Structure 1
Amino acid sequence: MGKARRSKNSKKKTGHAPGSAIYTGDRSKEKLFIETFDYNQTHCTVKELNSVEESFNFKHSDSVTWINLNGLNHVKDIEILGNHFNLHPLVIEDIVSISQRPKLDDYGDYIFVVLKMLYFQDEDAENISSEQVSFVLGKNYVLTFQESEGDVFDAVRQRIIAGKGRARSLGSDYLLYILIDAIVDHYYEVIDALGDKVEDFESAIFSGNVNDDTSKNIRDLKHEIFKMRRSIFPLREILVKIDKNDSPLIEKKTITFFSDIYDHLIQVSESIDIYREMASSLMDMYMTTISNKMNEVMKVLTIMASIFIPLTFIAGIYGMNFQYIPEIQYKYGYFVVWVIMIIIVFVMIHYFKRKKWL
């Protein structure tokens, strides 16, 4: 399914000039939703905008502004917003192209960051969805672009509105930090759920509770872990760039906070590596379990065949069509043969048990 989607996205981009803004996702019916948080130490204004033009006044505001746009399928509106904030055409192209690798680009007047936000599609924590989130950090503003409504920033919104923590007293660079921190914190929840799935598979395999879907489920689990690894590992490069960046948009005191995210990310990366190794070993354990079951079946069949070999030999001897076989004329010959055959069966079973084959 993933391959088909990548192929479809690549076809959308084929033949177009660099800088062409073309939405490569499949959520073409999403409504445009724009919300703004304009705040300083004394006030906070939250507003839902009806058009991108209403956000133009925030560009040169003395307060900090967070403009969050949902609906990457509205390419024209994104281009209008991007042109007003003097975004490079390649930046606008990357915003609407959802297959971007996490990265950071410094354009002088602003910093462009692309991340992957991970969350579960359902309450049962079965399927992981990866959504691209783009950030533009300016002097007094942060622009965020999401493919659809629903994200991991609710706690950030509440902190800004309530004035808790440092958010209202620091600049836009700190706002970028708490948004990225919210994404990384949510990685922990996804990883914990994946860890539970790995342990459940391990327990089921050890107890022999496997079925025909087990191998497919393990492959799906490995694919989810790979998806997480591909989304999370490049984020370390971004944080290293921020740490070494001398841009005036990020103050030195804020870089310390980004370093804290890097420490969290190292823990996340180590957990992913551990679960990836465990997922790989799960398939080996599953194949070993299947092999053991097959060996048990073959052992039973071999023992049954071994028991019937001498019985078949005796039956074959007395089933031959020779005219003169001495025992055939014996009055109790039939019963004697039965006794001999039963004795052979019990002797062989006793022998197998002594050898611990049974």
Structure 2
Amino acid sequence: MLMYKEITNQTERIEHFEMPKEKETIWMFYQSPEEMKQDDILEQLNLHPLAKAAFLHFSEHPQLNVYANHAVVSTFYLGTKNYEPIRLNLLIGHNYLIVMSEHEISFREQLVQDFTNNPEHMKHVSYMLYYLMKDIVSSYLEVVDQLSDEFLELEKSVFIDPQKREIGRDVYRWKTRLHKLRQYVEAEESIIQKMGHEDFEYANEESGFYFKDLLSSFSRVTSAFDSFKENLKGILDLQMSLKSDHMNRIMKTLTLVSAVFIPLTFIAGLYGMNFEYIPELKWRYGYFYVLTLCFILPLVIMSYFKKKKWW
């Protein structure tokens, strides 16, 4: 892919891997295991069997393992479309960095452009490692920003229609997905910490400061995922609260209707009794009196509810 020569301070493209000489560093990026195997790269390296096995097989979680003369890193790049991670394996030597991804990935050409325009970024293997991890961290930060927008829209939908059953399902799906992503984030943070530690033999003193700065940026991702979990809980609580408030309004209306019709039912029941002697039945305007009372009573009750702000 690219070779850096310290003597000329220039980078040049190479088609196939070859062992770098003194004051040379090489960066290779294969976008599939098949592409890497075509180059017969592992035959040229004196790899420990465990290091070879770790590099050839993609891990389920990010991790960093150090072997004799090599280190193997399994890291994840997050896409913003479906938030599914793309797994990458890094083989780190003292003067070369070999990257292999599951499938085609977008930021490879950006790295090529960066290393071509800034050859000093390939001066040491730790610098190459830093700029690669910087792009990976950027992918996590982009996902954090996108997730913030997603949850904001979800919260708005609760206010628009708190009765939607899909909101509860969406919250559950997001909680499940966030739990899985949070595991990746925690492991990635551990990897960056190890890369910036002074005991990591493939980092020099200067690159350690870069990795500490990168870790500081990544801490935003960690805290964001923790807050997302609380946000989802808050959205669910908000929906339950709005549903409860809606139910209370319904109960208020039903209570008012009951309060209005209870006295009317009493009046109708009282004068509907089949006793032979009921004095009001012989009143000339008794019917109109009762009818007027039936109109006045609801108005009085409704005014009382309004005054008390019960309705």
The correspondence of residues 130-279 of structure 1 with structure 2, limited to 5 A, is: 130-161=85-116, 163-164=117-118, 166-168=120-122, 170-205=123-158, 207-210=159-162, 211-279=164-232
Q: Residues 286, 38 of structure 1: CA spacing in aligned structure 2 closer, same or farther, 3 A cutoff?
A: same
Q: Match for residue 297 of structure 1?
A: 250
Q: Helix, strand or coil: the match of 1:112? A: strand
TM-score (norm 2): 0.85
Q: Residues 250, 305 of structure 1: CA spacing in aligned structure 2 closer, same or farther, 3 A cutoff?
A: same
Work out which of the residue numbers 42, 46, 50 in structure 1 matches 2:10: 42
CA RMSD of the aligned region, Å? Answer: 2.9
Say if 1:153 and 1:182, in contact at 8 Å, map to a contact too: no
The correspondence of residues 275-286 of structure 1 with structure 2, limited to 5 A, is: 275-286=228-239
Say if 1:153 and 1:179, in contact at 8 Å, map to a contact too: no
Q: Helix, strand or coil: the match of 1:216? A: helix
Q: Residues 308, 192 of structure 1: CA spacing in aligned structure 2 closer, same or farther, 3 A cutoff?
A: same
Which amino acid is the alignment partner of residue 135 of structure 2? A
Q: Take 1:149 and 1:216, find their aligned partners in 2: how far apart are those partners?
A: 33
Deviates more, 1:272-281 or 1:344-353: 272-281
Q: Match for residue 5 of structure 1?
A: none
Determine which structure has more spread, i.e. the larger CA radius of gyration: 2
Which amino acid is the alignment partner of residue 78 of structure 2? L
Q: Residues 329, 179 of structure 1: CA spacing in aligned structure 2 closer, same or farther, 3 A cutoff?
A: same
**1:182 CA displacement:** 0.7
Q: Take 1:44 and 1:188, find their aligned partners in 2: how far apart are those partners?
A: 31
Say if 2:3 and 2:14, in contact at 8 Å, map to a contact too: yes
Q: Match for residue 307 of structure 2?
A: 354
**1:311 CA displacement:** 1.3
Deviates more, 1:220-229 or 1:79-88: 79-88
**1:86 CA displacement:** 4.2
Q: Helix, strand or coil: the match of 1:166? A: helix
**1:167 CA displacement:** 1.5
Say if 1:94 and 1:100, in contact at 8 Å, map to a contact too: no
Say if 1:44 and 1:160, in contact at 8 Å, map to a contact too: no
Work out which of the residue numbers 101, 104, 107 in structure 1 matches 2:61: 101
Does structure 1 residue 311 correspond to structure 2 residue 264? yes
Q: Residues 79, 226 of structure 1: CA spacing in aligned structure 2 closer, same or farther, 3 A cutoff?
A: farther
Q: Take 1:302 and 1:92, find their aligned partners in 2: how far apart are those partners?
A: 75
Q: Take 1:89 and 1:280, find their aligned partners in 2: how far apart are those partners?
A: 47
**1:190 CA displacement:** 1.2
Instruction: Determine what percentage of the aligned residue pairs are the same residue.
Output: 27
Which amino acid is the alignment partner of residue 133 of structure 2? I
Q: Take 2:83 and 2:77, find their aligned partners in 1: how far apart are those partners?
A: 10
**1:81 CA displacement:** 4.6
Which amino acid is the alignment partner of residue 43 of structure 1? T
Q: Match for residue 31 of structure 1?
A: none
The correspondence of residues 105-120 of structure 1 with structure 2, limited to 5 A, is: 105-120=65-80
Deviates more, 1:227-236 or 1:343-352: 227-236
Which amino acid is the alignment partner of residue 100 of structure 2? F
Q: Take 1:312 and 1:81, find their aligned partners in 2: how far apart are those partners?
A: 93
Say if 2:197 and 2:208, in contact at 8 Å, map to a contact too: no
Q: Residues 167, 106 of structure 1: CA spacing in aligned structure 2 closer, same or farther, 3 A cutoff?
A: same
Which amino acid is the alignment partner of residue 44 of structure 1? E
Say if 2:36 and 2:100, in contact at 8 Å, map to a contact too: no
Say if 1:59 and 1:140, in contact at 8 Å, map to a contact too: no
Say if 2:10 and 2:119, in contact at 8 Å, map to a contact too: no
Does structure 1 residue 69 correspond to structure 2 residue 24? no
**1:203 CA displacement:** 4.3
Q: Take 1:197 and 1:159, find their aligned partners in 2: how far apart are those partners?
A: 32
**1:159 CA displacement:** 0.7
Say if 2:70 and 2:93, in contact at 8 Å, map to a contact too: yes
Q: Take 2:43 and 2:115, find their aligned partners in 1: how far apart are those partners?
A: 28
**1:66 CA displacement:** 2.2
Gap runs ≥5 in structure 1: 1-35, 48-54, 122-126
Q: Residues 283, 324 of structure 1: CA spacing in aligned structure 2 closer, same or farther, 3 A cutoff?
A: same
Which amino acid is the alignment partner of residue 164 of structure 1? N
Ranges of 4+ aligned residues in structure 1 off by more than 6 Å? none
Say if 1:64 and 1:141, in contact at 8 Å, map to a contact too: yes
Q: Residues 348, 59 of structure 1: CA spacing in aligned structure 2 closer, same or farther, 3 A cutoff?
A: same
Say if 2:74 and 2:87, in contact at 8 Å, map to a contact too: yes
Q: Residues 343, 90 of structure 1: CA spacing in aligned structure 2 closer, same or farther, 3 A cutoff?
A: farther
Say if 1:39 and 1:45, in contact at 8 Å, map to a contact too: no
* Aligned pairs, number: 306
**1:104 CA displacement:** 0.9
